[in-house]
Amino acid sequence: MAIRNEIYDDKHPSIATYFNNIGVACDRLKDYEKAINSFEKSRMIREYNYGKHHSITAESYNNLAIVHAKISNYNEALIYLTQVLAIRKDVDGEYSLSTETCYSDLGIIYKAIGNYQKALEYFKKSYQLLSISLGKEHPKTKKAKKNLNAVVKHC
């Protein structure tokens, strides 16, 4: 890090990537507090450089959502995932696979907190998008159908 700081100022995108990579490593080591801290640093630098509504910033929001979900901090995860969804829809389009991933992730979080109606809403969107994009026999589409069926019985 010291060498990077000699080359780049503390707001350079490469420093954001450095913090993001540290966050990924800490997440894999299950050191979630350090992961969140590193992802937050990355997020702040990316927001400074790219703004809040950019695909690179969305990566930071998504990483934060994943870690918050792992520690059952679902409200924070939902806040970040909602931001990711808005960015993905605007940047990648309503029918992109990155948007579908957001639908699936939101469905998983809503299922975890017992809001099966919301989970059903997002799992339906995920399944419909995958059925059109990849076909009903694709493994990812089949998994989406399984997620959908798992919440239908609760509604």
Q: Is residue 57 part of a domain?
A: yes
| pLDDT tens, residue by residue, 9-33 | 889 999 999 999 999 999 999 999 9
CA dihedral 104, 107, 113, 118 (to 10 degrees): 160
What residue numbers bound the domain in which 104 lies?
92-155
By the 8 A CB rule, do 44 and 13 touch? no
Query: What total of structural domains would you count in the chain?
Result: 2
Look up the pTM and report it.
0.90
Q: The CATH number of the domain where 129 resides is what?
A: 1.25.40
| pLDDT tens, residue by residue, 104-128 | 999 999 999 999 999 999 999 999 9
Same domain flag for 110 and 66: no
